[in-house]
Amino acid sequence: MPKTSTPSVSSAVKDTVSVFNPTKPTAASVQSSTASVQPSMTNNSHHKANHNQNRSITQSSDAALATVDAPVSTAPKVGFVSLGCPKALVDSERIITELSRDGYQVASDYEGADLVVVNTCGFIESAVQESLDAIGEAISKNGKVIVTGCLGKEAEKIREMHPAVLAVTGAHAYDEVITAVSQHVPKPKRESASNYDPKIDLINEAGIKLTPSHYAYLKISEGCNHRCTFCIIPSLRGDLVSRPIDNVMNEALALKNAGVKELLIISQDTSAYGLDLKYKTSFWNGMPLKSKFYDLCQALNDLGIWVRLHYVYPYPHVDKVVALMSEKKLLPYLDIPFQHASHRILKAMKRPAHSENTLARIKAWREICPDIVIRSTFVVGFPGETEEDFQCLLDWLVEARLDRVGAFTYSEVEGAVANNLPNPVPEDIKQSRYERLMALQQEISAQKLQEKIGKTLTVLVDEIDSEESIAICRSYADAPEIDGHVYVDEISTHVKVGQFLTVTIDDASEYDLFASYQG
């Protein structure tokens, strides 16, 4: 087994999920994570910056397909291509779940589909082009295409380039997509209650998931109240809309009962959860619960499975959640999009908490919970960024010593306020700064992982290489698809995907750990 890992470049916004592999996969042009090679549908490298690895449903969730593919061949089939972040992936899961409840099957290729749904991304211009290309491919391969997702806000642009599309809806427009599908491919008839199909009737509250069966994304809110100058998410997905806490917990419990071992909590701003609901109290499992970030974390902890927090902003009230982590109540892992360290640039970005002393906050968190792992993403080459601003970011990284870091060069997105800011940074300087930042972080990562050698860790098995007798695992420090792995040698045939192992760390590379297991 190799002792090094070559990370790959992938976009900060792209996660392609399809029931079939598009024949011409493309990647958004921003660079992210720790990489210098282009991604592909077959790339198995690690360290993506933002949940953005290309995947097909058949690669990532055979169980999901087994659930939705009914054995009756007469039911209409719908193909699905999904582009974007985990929030969009959850939207795709919900649409597929509802279509499956209506009796539709999921097609395994373009030719076998009666219709194709393309869930688009519109976050940056390269992602917009990628979405338009995906729509075009679906039209050429199938002919009947419905478009949904963030790019749906630009319906005129879509129809101008692809007038053959049957319908265009916006982000998280579940009912509109279902209606559009049924208009063009009528749903199968279920003539009586005795016409029982367990593939449909036994879909539980967790719904159909496109991730492997042992982990799942749990979206707790939609939209965002912030107005960062480089971002158009509020115009695409609206302001913050939190799910009531009983609704969230019902889904979380259903996922646990379905065998999920790890929940990845996602939203646009996880630490703002419940603000729009004025922290309304609901009853779940006979107990009153407030729709509030801390209360949700407490309740999720009681499920007794791994809970990992993503997209958390460094507000003061996060300190209490870190205290829960120190009590082993949650995985001691925080994904916080700091984006920069220069106060001047953060102010120009209109980042929330831009005036906070984040180094002091990180130090306080480590005092509360010494094992905490922090991952973040950064933008280099933002308009007006000087060499002094960039050096401030490098100095900050040296002091912060974050565990996981992704970065991408600033890219204009249509409608973003930052496009009109003065003093844009030339592309060659953006690229140089990106490479300098990632080279520095590579050194920091290597040093931090060397400190793990000799320690005992609990890991979750994601894959098994039976030919080499190697288990590809993750520890509490590793989110799926974006962080590193723990490679465990000489495993027995009793080790299975989704199993927890206790291992001893023997070696480390810049990004991954290598361990032994005495089963």
Integer Cα distance of 129 and 368 in angstroms = 45
Angle between helices 86-101 and 174-184 (to 10 degrees): 50
369 annotated as belonging to a binding site for a ligand: no
Torsion of CA 50, 482, 379, 425, to 10 degrees: -100
Query: Read out DSSP for 301-315?
Result: HTT-SEEEE-S----
Is the torsion defined by CA of 421, 426, 427, 431 positive or negative? negative
CA neighbor of 333 nearest in space, from 503, 460, 211, 496? 460
Query: What SS3 class is residue 505?
Result: strand
DSSP state letter for 210: S
Is the torsion defined by CA of 227, 229, 232, 235 positive or negative? positive
Token pair of 100, please? 């499956």
Query: Read out DSSP for 153-209?
Result: GGHHHHHHH-TT-SEE--TT-HHHHHHHHHHHSPPPP--STT---HHHHT--TT---
Quote the Cα angle for 135-139-142, to 5°: 130
Phi, psi angle pair for 251, to nearest 5°: -70, -40
Please provide the distance, in angstroms rounded to a whole number, between the alpha carbons at the two ends of the chain.
20
Quote the Cα angle for 371-376-381, to 5°: 150
How distant, in Å, are the alpha carbons of 96, 197, 217, 331 from that of 306? Answer: 26, 33, 12, 6
392 annotated as belonging to a binding site for a ligand: no
228 annotated as belonging to a binding site for a ligand: yes
Integer Cα distance of 365 and 358 in angstroms = 10
Phi, psi angle pair for 15, to nearest 5°: -145, 105
473 annotated as belonging to a binding site for a ligand: no
Is the torsion defined by CA of 285, 287, 288, 289 positive or negative? negative
Query: Read out DSSP for 52-110?
Result: ---EEHHHH-HHHHHHH--S-TTS-EEEEEE-SSHHHHHHHHHHHHHHHHTTPEEPSSS
121 annotated as belonging to a binding site for a ligand: yes
Residues of the binding site: 85, 121, 150, 224, 228, 231
Residues of the binding site for [4Fe-4S] cluster: 85, 121, 150, 224, 228, 231
